[in-house]
Amino acid sequence: MSASAAQPASTHFLHGLNPLAKLLAPLPAMLLLIFVRDLATPLAFLVLAYAVLLVGARLTVRTAVMLLLVVPALIVIMTVGFSLWTDTAGIAHDVVVLRIGGWTLYGAAVLIGLATGLRLAAIVALALIAGLTTTGQDLARSLVQQLRVPYRVGYTAIAAFRFVPRFRRELEVIRQAHRVRGQARGPLAALGRGFGYMVPLLAGAIRHAERVALAMDARAFGAYPDRTERHEVPVRARDTVFVVLLLAASAALFAVFWPWGL
Amino acid sequence: MPLLRVQDLAVRHDGETVFAPAGASFTVRPGEVVLLLGPSGSGKSTLALTLNGLIPHDIEAEVSGSVTVDGMDAASTPVARLATRVGMVFQDPDAQLVTGTVLDEVAFGPENLRLPVSEVLQRSEDALRRVGLWERRADSPDALSGGGRQRLAIAAALALGSPLLVVDEPTANLDPRGVDEVFATLAEIVKTGDRAVVLIEHNLDQAIGFVDRVVVMDAAGRTIADGPAADILRTRAAELHELGVWLPTAALAALRLRRAGYALDPLPLTPAELRAALEGERRPPGVSTRFAHGATGVDIPPLAPRAAQPRVATPRQPHVVSTRFARGATATGAVTVRHLTLHRGTTAVLRDVSLDIRPGEFVAVVGPNGAGKTSLLQALAGVVRAPRGTVSVGGVDLRRIRDLTSRIGFVFQNPEHQFVTHTVRDELAYGLRHLPADETDARIDDVLRRFGLEDRADVHPFLLSGGQKRRLSVGTALVAGAPVLALDEPTFGQDRARADELLGLLTDLNRDGTTIIIVTHDMQLVVEHASRTILLDEGRVLADGPTPTVFADDALIARTGLRPPPLRAALRGLARHPELDGVVRLSDLPGAHA
């Protein structure tokens, strides 16, 4: 958990890196990928991100599900979705994949869908480098320590992480309670129900937040402009090495595939 | 110099018209343990929040009089500085934990004080060892039990190094095991004598053992008594009881027994004292040796032979063997369960449960955490779907009932969760939306009147007071005419006064014929109100019978981790008073009806 940032680099080196390094290093590639239209470039970045994650991240069930199920599913759904919705007017009609009655699925449309799916998957996979190996608490700490975000904001964010599972439980109970009262069916009613859950959920959230705030103040939160930091989230040589290597790899991939035809 | 001096303190919250407290004065010296008593509305919790300056610094309120902590004026000293003198433990453990591990949690306060890392760790270790959580330091607070989380909150307050600890109803959100844990921890802390404690607590049976002094406030929020705990409680118990102040069960019992002619002087305050006092005197003339049994009309049969199997499964009741629902269970208000097995995921939460609940019964479902109590209640009320043929209400299979709300009402722990409309009137009308309008209006007016909500009909449900919200939630469950009311832990997280108000309401409803089924951890509530108790463990019915019978089986109660009610501990097996053996509820004592 939070102590992991202080551990020496092991084979799962990603967990020992500064959260900001993991966040910043893939960022240029993620931004550039938005403007890519070919298949090879996103595929290359997808491979790169998977390689980094499979070598550097501890393989938990969550990680495995994310990498082996969620991301591939994303590619499939995007490919299918975009091939069906692409406007056929502006694309080549020479390859026909499927013809049902008067409707034709063109190969070019499938390629556009696949490119979109891969592009999105590559961006998601790059984000997962930080996402799967960083705790919210370490991120908040490094925001405070490196980016000089006021600690009152950072630690309130840490406290807020604890709200999430609580709200999930509460929402489940509220849904049960409303079901007991008897409900209408149908999509419109479902929308109304969603709003119905908001009021009790928000009321509970505000009350809970107020209580937490009182408890934090009662423990001298905000007494001084800074506070003792037991968990240093330092920037070390390996963070610099990681950022430089990943940037270099990104640059190399873009150089090799040069997807903009300029 | 006293550590804490409260002088003529009066507080009025924004938007309120009255001051509560209104003229409280007392002092606390280093190392002293002071119990703050007062009826509901006297402002005990408000007073607690002024002791470390949260009122008026964080919560806007009009304050007069003064609070002086270690020479500092609380109204003008920042909360963060007062925090080094006054540590605070609140009611809800979840609302005071802010970090991801037990160690981080305790270190949070000292870190805020900018102490060097070595001292932060030293203090954290000391505090965690005092509450017995040092071995769990790497765990997430979520992995602790409720009692464990509250002990963690106590450790976090200790780690600030403050000489005064303010503890406000620390056990209201805990199950019996957690209550025991927290009291053991508090007693341990008090023993070393290095901390003064101001305690607000309704469970006086366990608190009275380590309290030095009591300060009593009246309903208006003025101090009316201040002195050694034993003196005040022994000499003014009757007066305090009249005021609506919580008293130890042993003292309440003794007050009743005195009316029946027992001497009991001085007034006993703990079960052990009550027991000793009774053994020291003879049965007064006029009290029958069989008083208790005769008075309740409950002949207490031995439970032992039945304890192993559910009562309804005894071969002497042939209808049970049939998979069909029993005849006679067709009366509205009857609930029948036959061979109910329920799974959550892959684990069985209920295993072959069979019971008959008769119309007009007041049934408590008790058992340790994870016993399946809530699952059973939810299956009875159709919140979760039980298999066809396993649950019937009023003789009709639950799965065939379309308008469930007119058969059985379900009340959740937090009333706000159940509200779906924008006014109290609409909230009641929602349950009647299938009826013609002229009929609904009459019914709604009737419910508004019965639940004391007539002048609140057009208010948004969320703007009601806590007690009104609870009454409205019960009203909405009953408005469609349900003869059965199921309640899941309705007193959890509430102060004693609100819990008592709800129980009074339920008792009235029950007297008028409503079947009440309640899941609860509060054993005193069970013995005082429920005529029948169903004890679950690991999804099976372990015992099912009249409440006094179930609680008379000490071995069974202990085995399931429940606590015997305090009266049971005081009265069982008295050598000189066989007439009191087996009494578990105050109302069964001689003198109760005098």
Structure confidence by residue, pLDDT tens digits, B316-358: 333 333 344 444 455 677 899 999 999 988 888 999 999 999 9
How far from B417 is each of A25, B377, B469, CA to CA, in Å?
A: 45, 17, 10
**Strand runs (DSSP E) across B270-379, as ranges?**
335-344, 347-357, 362-366
DSSP-derived 3-state class of residue B98: coil
Distance between CA A229 and CA A231 in Å, rounded?
6
Average pLDDT, chain A: 86
Q: Do B114 and A227 touch (CB under 8 A)?
A: yes
Q: How far is B463 from chain A (nearest CA, A)?
A: 11
Strand (E) positions, B314-465?
Answer: 335-344, 347-357, 362-366, 391-393, 396-397, 408-411
Whether residue A46 contacts residue A118, with contact meaning beta carbons closer than 8 Å, is answered with yes
Residue ranges making up the domain that contains B442 = 321-564
Residue B582 is predicted with a pLDDT of: 76
Contact B260, B287 (CB under 8 A): yes
What's the pLDDT tens digit per position in B181-240?
999 999 999 888 889 999 998 888 888 888 999 999 998 899 999 999 999 999 999 899
Whether residues B445 and B489 fall in one domain: yes
Asked whether residue B504 falls in the same domain as residue B366, the answer is: yes
- CA-CA distance, A194 to A198, in Å (whole number)? 7
In a domain, B123, yes or no: yes
Tens-place pLDDT, residues B116-152: 999 999 999 999 999 999 999 999 998 898 899 999 9
Task: Choose among A158, A182, A203: nearest Cβ to B98.
Answer: A158
The model carries a pTM of: 0.81
**Pair (B159, B52) in one structural domain:** yes
pLDDT tens-digit map of A55-82: 999 888 888 999 999 999 999 999 988 8
Helix axes B229-243, B249-259, angle to 10 degrees: 70
Strands (E), chain A: 96-100, 103-106
pLDDT digits (tens, 9 = 90+) for A77-89: 999 888 888 777 7
Number of domains in chain B: 3
pLDDT of residue B593 exceeding 80, the answer is no
Tell me the pLDDT band of B291, cut-offs 50, 70 and 90: low
pLDDT band at B501 (very low <50, low <70, confident <90, very high): confident
User: Could you tell me if residue B511 is inside a domain?
Assistant: yes
Question: Using CA atoms, how far apart are residues B167 and B39, in angstroms rounded to an integer?
Answer: 17
User: Confidence band (pLDDT; 50, 70, 90) for A178?
Assistant: confident
Task: Tell whether B536 and B594 lie within a shared domain.
Answer: no
pLDDT band at B284 (very low <50, low <70, confident <90, very high): confident
- Residue B18, pLDDT > 60, answer yes
Question: B259 and B179, same structural domain?
Answer: no
How far apart CA B87 and CA B83 sit, in angstroms, is: 6
pLDDT at B330: 58
Residue entry with tokens 């607070």:
B141
- Under the banding of pLDDT at 50, 70 and 90, the label for residue B309 is very low
Residue B311 lies in a domain: no
| Nearest C-alpha neighbor of B26 from the set B49, B46, B2, B59 | B2
| 3-class secondary-structure state, position B401 | coil
Q: Which residues of B touch A214 (CB under 8 A)?
A: 49, 54, 58-59, 90
Q: Residue B377: what are its φ and ψ, rounded to 5°?
A: -60, -45
Do both B203 and B330 map to the same domain? no
Q: What are the residue ranges spanned by the domains of chain A? A: 2-146+233-257, 164-218
Q: In chain B, which residues have their Cβ closer than 8 Å to the Cβ of A212?
A: 95-96, 98
Write the ipTM: 0.81
Q: Give the pLDDT mean for A158-183.
A: 84
- Would an 8 Å CB–CB cutoff place A167 in contact with chain B? no
Residue A10's pLDDT band (cuts 50, 70, 90): low
B293 vs A70, higher pLDDT: A70
Residue in chain B closest to A175 (alpha carbons) equals: B417
Using a pLDDT cut of 90, give the percent of chain B over it.
45
Mean pLDDT of chain B: 86
Main-chain phi, psi angles of B349, to 5 degrees: -95, -25
pLDDT exceeds cutoff 70 at B303: no
pLDDT value of position B160: 94
- Assess contact for A220 and B84: CB atoms under 8 A: yes
Asked whether residue B141 falls in the same domain as residue B52, the answer is: yes
- Would you mind telling me the total number of residues written for chain A in this entry? 262
Residue B218 lies in a domain: yes
Under the banding of pLDDT at 50, 70 and 90, the label for residue B64 is very high
Asked whether residue B340 falls in the same domain as residue B455, the answer is yes
pLDDT (0 to 100) of residue B316: 35
Residue B414 lies in a domain: yes
Give the orientation angle of helix A40-56 with respect to helix A237-257, to 10 degrees: 160
Q: What is the pLDDT of residue B308?
A: 36
Tell me the per-residue pLDDT of B452-477, one tens digit each, with 9 for 90 and over. 888 889 999 988 887 888 889 999 98
CA atoms within 13 A on the CB side of B209: 16
Tell me the mean pLDDT in the region A202-211: 90
> Is residue B315 in a domain?
no
Give me the residues of A, 123-162, that contact B with CB < 8 A: 135, 137, 155, 158-159, 161-162
In this predicted structure, the answer to whether residue B106 has a pLDDT above a threshold of 60 is yes
Buried b / exposed e over B34-51, threshold 16 CB at 10 Å, is bbbbbbbebbbebbbbbb
pLDDT tops 50 at residue B5: yes
Do B207 and B332 lie in one domain? The reply is no
Answer yes or no: is B308 within a domain: no
- Coil, strand, or helix at residue B389? coil
Residues from chain B contacting residue A226 (CB–CB below 8 Å): 114
* Residue B523: pLDDT over 60: yes
Checking if the pLDDT of B293 tops 60, the result is no
Q: How confident is the model at residue B274 (pLDDT cuts 50, 70, 90)?
A: very high
pLDDT bracket for residue B244 (50, 70, 90): confident
Residue B493: is its pLDDT beyond 80? no
pLDDT band at B290 (very low <50, low <70, confident <90, very high): low
Could you give the residue ranges of the DSSP H alpha helices within A146-230? 151-161, 163-180, 187-218
Please indicate, yes or no, whether residues B234 and B352 belong to a single structural domain of this protein: no
Q: Which residue has the higher pLDDT, B346 or B160?
A: B160
What per-residue confidence (pLDDT) applies to B311? 39
* CA neighbours closer than 13 Å in the CB half-sphere of residue B280: 12
For chain B, say whether A2 makes contact (Cβ under 8 Å). yes
Separation between Cα atoms, residue B385 and residue B82, nearest integer Å: 53
CA-to-CA dists, residue B116 to A96, A162, A230, B119, B204, angstroms: 72, 27, 9, 5, 40
Tell me the CA distances in angstroms from B409 to B334, B391, B473, one per residue in order: 13, 15, 10
Q: What is the 3-state secondary structure (H, E, C) of B232-257?
A: HHHHHHHHHHHHCCCCCHHHHHHHHH
Number of helices (H), then strands (E), in chain A: 11, 2
Distance from first CA to last CA of chain A, Å, rounded?
46
- Can you give the CATH number for the domain in which B197 is found? 3.40.50.300
Give me the percent of chain A exceeding a pLDDT of 90.
40
**Whether residue B176 is found in the same domain as residue B253:** no
Q: Is the pLDDT of residue B424 over 90?
A: yes
Q: Is B417 on the interface with A (CB under 8 A)?
A: yes
Same domain, B199 and B265: no
